[in-house]
A and B are shown apart, each in its own frame.
Chain A
Amino acid sequence: MAYDPRRVNTGSTTPQTPPPPPPPPTDMNSGQAPSSSTDWKLKFCTVCASNNNRSMEAHLRLSSAPTGFPVISFGTGSLVRLPGPSITQPNVYSFNTTSYNQMYEELQSKDERLYRNNGILNMLDRNRNLKWGPERFQDWVPGVPRLDHLSKGDKGALGTEGGVVDVIITCEERCWDAVVDDLMNKGAALNRPVHVFNVDIKDNHEEALVGGKAILDLANRLNDAATAQRALHGNNGWENGAGAARKSFDEQVPEILAEWQELNPSLPALWTLAWL
């Protein structure tokens, strides 16, 4: 995949913002029993080019939110590319087989000062506390159980054991294109609908923070609508039958996005309903 020129801006101007420590969700597994009808939540997937900056910031936000969304994350690039000492010397790693920890240690030994100052080490440190390593979207086989991610302690893994999600949020238009295209190539074998959003975020740490917050806002809005729909026909409302008066969650999606977009005009959004 082409080098992303916007990464140039991530050079020296990167603020020293350490990622907020994710709240310890360790008790959730043992304390509360696995998901029940009341615990039902939308399952999310965040996607950017290298599964490092934007998608991981969103991964952090969604998994550490009070709601504690189930979330997995991917990159659509051919390789993981991190800024190097110059534009023409990116640090390149392969997806799925390189851990964030490996990258962290390699870059730390290469030039700790450079990678500390441009925020790369902070980013990788955040990432290695979230999950093992960057995953490539095109290599993802939806429906393959992800129990190992749960046992490895990946944040947001709880609820994604089945290897499926309800919502995919990409952080760049070409990632959205790649995701929609790849889902078509995968053949939609699961017959399971998935809403694919794009929230256009510039690839730098500051914008990733802003974008991550906005993505969490969008996720909350979507989840509220979906939960409300389930409650309508839930245990209490069941006998009332299908309430035509109330729109379903899926029908509300364009409205929710339009509302959200008005609040976040600097993050142009896109959406479609695709299939896993």
Chain B
Amino acid sequence: MAQSTEVAQLNAARNLVLGDAALYPQIVNGILPIVGANAKPELRRWGADFLAETFASPVLGTAQKEQLAPGVLQAIRDILLLPETDTAVLQSLVQCVASLYPLVFRHIINHPEDSNSWEIMNTIKHDILRRMDTFPCPVKICCAKFLQRVVQVQTPSHVADPRRPDQNETSLAIVPRNHPLLAIPHLEAESSGLLDRLLDVFQVEICDPLLVNATLNCLAPLIRTRQSISNKIINAILEFYPSKHVRPPFTPTVRVSVKSMERTARAVLVNMLKKNPSHPMLGKIQLYIERLMQSRLEAPDESSRKRALPNEPVDGLDHAKRPLSYSQLFTLTQDAALSSFDVKQLPPDLVVKITVPLLAQVNQSLLTQAIDAVRTRYQTVTKEQNQMRLQQQAAAGGEDDDDYEPEYQPMEGADNTSDVASVIAAEAPDVQPDLVSLGPFVLPQPPPMSEEEAGEVGRSAVARVFSMINIAETAPSASKGKSQQHPGFTRLAGSNFDRDAWVLLLTRLATRAPAGLEGGDKLGKGKQTPISDSIRETLYRYILEDFRGRLTIGITWLNEEWYNDRVQMKAAAAARDQGDDEEPSVATHYDTWVSRLLDGILPYLDGRDIKVLVRFLSEIPEVTIPITQRVASLAKDPERVNLCVQALMYLIMFRPPAREMCLNTLEDVYQTYEEARPAAGKVLAKWRPQAIRPADSAPAPQPEAQTSATAA
């Protein structure tokens, strides 16, 4: 239907007052005749809307509204008494009257002579109250609000400042006791009755959710500002459980309504508690709120709860699909009492006290076994869960397209998923016992190694250590120079992992490690090269490869060998003293290996290698006759005669314990080799002049000196 010109004009007028509130009186008085009782419904609607808007407007001052109110009352009464039946008009009129009532009340307080206005107001009030129960729902809602307004006005409020009535809220408290029109006891009694009527919505057997919500939402100002009735209101709410005031069947509509009332009731109480956190009924209110939330769960509407859990959690940690708890997963003990013990009962500090020392003593292999057992268990479970999930997806078919799909409507739809859940629940126990009975896993002992295998492994280990020497050799030995700066007893052998350290390790491995074990070799001798000999052999070859560069290694090694021989002999002597019948045999290695090494070196020495030879002879721990004889053999070679003589001369000069032995050897050389005579003769002339007899070729061996010549 086309818009009428009147309405267009009225809208233009409305836009004017919206822009400038000062124009309200003019416009209100202007439109009243147009939208009055005899006007078309369309205009009455517009008029009622406009009047409701006018008296509710926060931009129009209370004083101006008060002035306008009496004139408007008459028009409203006329429309109401038509009788008006249009819901929209009634709705707006009742809203308007609710706004007017405090204005008129205040007006009457200040103008006791205006009995006419008060009479009209009362007529309107009684008409509304009388018809309230028969009004259509939207109007009834507004009537509830009107009731609340009347109660608010006709109940005394807290008076902030009695001397300035303008500042005080309109209420019974500012009515003079001797007011001709406003009888306080009468008004108070009426107000009390109206409050009961307002709160009656919480008592009816089958409640109207709209009216309940509308009432609940308008009670907050009464609770807050009207001390005398706030407890009554709160008690009325506390006895109201929405789920008990609805009738089955619980359709979605009913569920929406119940939830709505519960949430609104809670909101009113929470609002009140925020303003007054130490309210004497705090405990009772909290209990009620808890019960409300509980009853929501009990109510047959699991669906309408907030945001149901997604059907399929992304991380697969869903409880329904987790047949094992963490404790089940990690419990390894078979002891029922122990596994049922809840560690959470212990105070944390005690747990710490127990755990830390325990961790320090944990057996590494046991720990590894335990971890492996749990890992195996976990993998089994994961595999089974994956299979289950696949089955479930297959069962659910295309329904699982949407990841985020909470089950809102369970009445029909939920059967599907609950079936799946029960299937899982049924399967879970089958899975459990098998997993739980899985005890600690014990690694089987490896078969014992044969001696050959053990030797093989030992040799390969030695080979690896030798490879370490080679690697360390290439690195610049900066630390070597450093260690040489700090020699002496403070140096710890093998403390820095350079070549020397590895050599020391090897030599000691060869000499000391098997010490004492070799004695038992008597029984099964020669069966197998012992590991120590294979190390010696390797060391020997290693030194010979580059004897000039690796002489130090040789000396170190031979020192170790000699020392070890001494220790062994000492131990054997001690054993002999203790009366051991069997003569303990000591396998000595020094003599063997020093001879072998010298034999290996000598063929390759040339005349200029005097320093090498002298160093070797001077630094080995013991010079023996076999050694000097080998040195003497150098004199066979005319080119190395000087080498031989000089080496012996060095020993004679600087190694006194070996002096006699060396002089004998030199004398021997002097006698035997013609080419050695000039050089050897010079030395002998100084140290043993009697040995030189001109033209005398007969040597004079000194057997007693040879046998006793062992020097350390």
In the complex, residue of chain A having the shortest beta-carbon distance to the beta carbon of B102: A189
B142 touches A193 (CB 8 A): yes
- With known contacts A37-B42, A192-B56, A254–B260 Cβ distance under 8 A: yes
Does B189 sit within 8 A of A, measured CB to CB?
no
- With known contacts A265-B408, A268-B307, A189–B56 Cβ distance under 8 A: yes
A161 touches B18 (CB 8 A): yes
Q: How many residues on A have C-beta within 8 angstroms of the other chain's C-beta atoms? A: 63
Complex Cα–Cα for A161 and B252 (A): 36
Q: Mark A12-41, 1 if CB is under 8 A from B, else 0.
A: 000000000000000000000111111100
Does A8 sit within 8 A of B, measured CB to CB?
no
Determine the chain A residues whose CB is within 8 A of the CB of B19 once the complex forms. 145, 147
B217 touches A275 (CB 8 A): yes
A145 touches B59 (CB 8 A): yes
- With known contacts A36-B4, A238-B86, A248-B137, A272–B145 Cβ distance under 8 A: no
B304 touches A268 (CB 8 A): yes
Determine the chain A residues whose CB is within 8 A of the CB of B612 once the complex forms. none
Stretch at the interface among A85-93, A124-132, A175-183, A214-222: A175-183
Stretch at the interface among A56-64, A96-104, A227-235: A227-235
Determine the chain A residues whose CB is within 8 A of the CB of B11 once the complex forms. 33-36
A251 touches B210 (CB 8 A): yes
Complex Cα–Cα for A254 and B256 (A): 6
Q: Which of B137, B149, B255, B256 contacts A251 (CB 8 A)?
A: B137
Stretch at the interface among A42-50, A73-81, A108-116, A256-264: A256-264
- With known contacts A192-B52, A273-B213, A181–B267 Cβ distance under 8 A: yes
The A-contacting residues of B in range 32-71, CB under 8 angstroms, are 40-42, 45-46, 52-53, 56-59
Does A266 sit within 8 A of B, measured CB to CB?
yes
A38 touches B1 (CB 8 A): yes
A262 touches B408 (CB 8 A): yes
Determine the chain A residues whose CB is within 8 A of the CB of B12 once the complex forms. 34
Complex Cα–Cα for A188 and B147 (A): 13
Does A11 sit within 8 A of B, measured CB to CB?
no
Determine the chain B residues whose CB is within 8 A of the CB of A142 once the complex forms. 58
Q: How far is the CB of A268 from chain B (nearest CB, A)?
A: 5
Stretch at the interface among B156-164, B399-407, B429-437, B623-631: B399-407
Determine the chain A residues whose CB is within 8 A of the CB of B58 once the complex forms. 141-144, 189
Determine the chain B residues whose CB is within 8 A of the CB of A191 once the complex forms. 52, 56, 95, 98-99, 142, 145-146, 149
Does A187 sit within 8 A of B, measured CB to CB?
yes
Does A190 sit within 8 A of B, measured CB to CB?
yes
Does B323 sit within 8 A of A, measured CB to CB?
no
Does B263 sit within 8 A of A, measured CB to CB?
yes
Q: Mark B576-616, 1 if CB is under 8 A from A, else 0.
A: 00000000000000000000000000000000000000000
In the complex, residue of chain A having the shortest beta-carbon distance to the beta carbon of B3: A36
Determine the chain A residues whose CB is within 8 A of the CB of B274 once the complex forms. 181
The A-contacting residues of B in range 87-116, CB under 8 angstroms, are 87-88, 95, 98-99
The B-contacting residues of A in range 113-172, CB under 8 angstroms, are 141-145, 147, 161-162, 164
Determine the chain B residues whose CB is within 8 A of the CB of A253 once the complex forms. 210
A273 touches B53 (CB 8 A): no
Complex Cα–Cα for A241 and B46 (A): 19
A173 touches B252 (CB 8 A): no
Determine the chain A residues whose CB is within 8 A of the CB of B255 once the complex forms. 258
Complex Cα–Cα for A39 and B42 (A): 13
B267 touches A273 (CB 8 A): no
Complex Cα–Cα for A38 and B408 (A): 37
B217 touches A248 (CB 8 A): no
Does A203 sit within 8 A of B, measured CB to CB?
no
Does B268 sit within 8 A of A, measured CB to CB?
yes
The A-contacting residues of B in range 392-418, CB under 8 angstroms, are 402, 404-409
Complex Cα–Cα for A234 and B46 (A): 12
Does B257 sit within 8 A of A, measured CB to CB?
yes
Q: Which of A249, A266, A271 contacts B408 (CB 8 A)?
A: A266
A33 touches B267 (CB 8 A): no
Q: Mark B241-278, 1 if CB is under 8 A from A, else 0.
A: 00000000001111111011001100110110010000
Complex Cα–Cα for A189 and B8 (A): 28
Q: How far is the CB of A270 from chain B (nearest CB, A)?
A: 6
Does A65 sit within 8 A of B, measured CB to CB?
no
Does B287 sit within 8 A of A, measured CB to CB?
no
Determine the chain B residues whose CB is within 8 A of the CB of A274 once the complex forms. 213, 217
Complex Cα–Cα for A184 and B223 (A): 11
B53 touches A162 (CB 8 A): yes
A143 touches B53 (CB 8 A): yes
A270 touches B263 (CB 8 A): yes
Complex Cα–Cα for A246 and B53 (A): 28
- With known contacts A184-B217, A248-B136, A190–B56 Cβ distance under 8 A: yes
Complex Cα–Cα for A181 and B57 (A): 21
Q: How many residues on B have C-beta within 8 angstroms of the other chain's C-beta atoms? A: 75
Does B129 sit within 8 A of A, measured CB to CB?
no
Does B128 sit within 8 A of A, measured CB to CB?
no
Q: How far is the CB of A240 from chain B (nearest CB, A)?
A: 10
Q: How far is the CB of A179 from chain B (nearest CB, A)?
A: 10
A266 touches B263 (CB 8 A): no
Q: How far is the CB of A262 from chain B (nearest CB, A)?
A: 6
B307 touches A200 (CB 8 A): yes
Determine the chain B residues whose CB is within 8 A of the CB of A145 once the complex forms. 18-19, 59
In the complex, residue of chain A having the shortest beta-carbon distance to the beta carbon of B303: A265
Complex Cα–Cα for A234 and B88 (A): 9
Does B221 sit within 8 A of A, measured CB to CB?
yes
Q: Mark B1-21, 1 if CB is under 8 A from A, else 0.
A: 111100110011001001100
- With known contacts A162-B53, A188-B145, A242-B136, A271–B260 Cβ distance under 8 A: yes
Q: How far is the CB of B126 from chain A (nearest CB, A)?
A: 19
B145 touches A248 (CB 8 A): no
Determine the chain B residues whose CB is within 8 A of the CB of A230 once the complex forms. 88
B86 touches A233 (CB 8 A): yes
- With known contacts A33-B3, A193-B214, A181–B408 Cβ distance under 8 A: no
Q: How far is the CB of A151 from chain B (nearest CB, A)?
A: 10
B267 touches A271 (CB 8 A): no
Q: How far is the CB of B220 from chain A (nearest CB, A)?
A: 4
A235 touches B1 (CB 8 A): yes
The A-contacting residues of B in range 123-142, CB under 8 angstroms, are 136-138, 141-142
B408 touches A268 (CB 8 A): yes
Determine the chain B residues whose CB is within 8 A of the CB of A248 once the complex forms. 87, 136-138
In the complex, residue of chain B having the shortest beta-carbon distance to the beta carbon of A265: B408
Determine the chain A residues whose CB is within 8 A of the CB of B402 once the complex forms. 266
B136 touches A188 (CB 8 A): no
Does B522 sit within 8 A of A, measured CB to CB?
no
Determine the chain B residues whose CB is within 8 A of the CB of A265 once the complex forms. 405-409
B213 touches A258 (CB 8 A): no
- With known contacts A248-B137, A251-B137, A270-B263, A37–B86 Cβ distance under 8 A: no
Complex Cα–Cα for A249 and B213 (A): 15
A34 touches B8 (CB 8 A): yes
Q: Which of B15, B52, B220 contacts A161 (CB 8 A)?
A: B15
The A-contacting residues of B in range 181-214, CB under 8 angstroms, are 209-210, 213-214
Does B470 sit within 8 A of A, measured CB to CB?
no
A257 touches B256 (CB 8 A): yes
Q: How far is the CB of A210 from chain B (nearest CB, A)?
A: 10
Determine the chain A residues whose CB is within 8 A of the CB of B324 once the complex forms. none
B15 touches A147 (CB 8 A): yes
Q: Could you give 7 example pairs across A and B, Cβ below 8 Å?
A: A36-B3, A143-B58, A145-B59, A147-B18, A190-B99, A262-B409, A266-B402
- B interface list, Cβ under 8 A from A: 1-4, 7-8, 11-12, 15, 18-19, 40-42, 45-46, 52-53, 56-59, 85-88, 95, 98-99, 136-138, 141-142, 145-146, 148-149, 209-210, 213-214, 216-218, 220-221, 251-257, 259-260, 263-264, 267-268, 270-271, 274, 304-308, 402, 404-409
- A interface list, Cβ under 8 A from B: 33-39, 141-145, 147, 161-162, 164, 173, 177, 180-181, 183-185, 187-193, 200, 229-230, 233-235, 238, 241-242, 244, 247-251, 253-255, 257-259, 261-262, 265-266, 268-275
State the 3 A-B residue pairs at the shortest beta-carbon distance, nearest first: A265-B408, A36-B3, A184-B220
